[in-house]
Amino acid sequence: GENVEQHPSTLSVQEGDSAVIKCTYSDSASNYFPWYKQELGKRPQLIIDIRSNVGEKKDQRIAVTLNKTAKHFSLHITETQPEDSAVYFCAARDLNTGFQKLVFGTGTRLLVSP
């Protein structure tokens, strides 16, 4: 089955710096890659996603890149702000299979210091 590895487990940056979180997946059939943000004590919330027919997607200060050949994808946050501090999860799924198996990485705790 699919296995998703996520690095780093913790990331500390200064406000205004960029942050990059990387994930690798094992199943070449995976074709949908969402990213979730979980603030302390809250539920995970979808912040951006990408499908395998696209190499990059941007939404204001966040972007996701996908390298299908290497089977890895990354989340990029520019001009970080203290409110970006949270745990971020990547995930992968094969949209062509008949079930909703979304496999998550183990999470990255991002701390943005003022």
Q: Give the residues lining the site for other proteins (CB under 8 A).
A: 1, 6, 9, 32, 34, 36, 42-46, 49, 51, 89, 91, 93, 95, 98-107
Residue 15 CB, nearest distance to other proteins (Å)?
27
For residue 27, give every residue at least 6 positions away whose Cβ sits within 8 Å of its Cβ, in sequence order, or none: 1, 2, 3, 92, 94
Specify the residue, 52 or 78, whose C-beta has the smaller distance to other proteins: 52
Specify the residue, 76 or 104, whose C-beta has the smaller distance to other proteins: 104
Residue 92 CB, nearest distance to other proteins (Å)?
11
Specify the residue, 13 or 103, whose C-beta has the smaller distance to other proteins: 103
For residue 3, give every residue at least 6 positions away whose Cβ sits within 8 Å of its Cβ, in sequence order, or none: 25, 26, 27, 103
HSE of 65, CA atoms in CB hemisphere, 13 A: 9
Residue 17 CB, nearest distance to other proteins (Å)?
25
Specify the residue, 49 or 68, whose C-beta has the smaller distance to other proteins: 49
What distance, in Å, lies between the first and last C-alpha atoms of the chain? 41
Strand, helix or coil for residue 28? coil
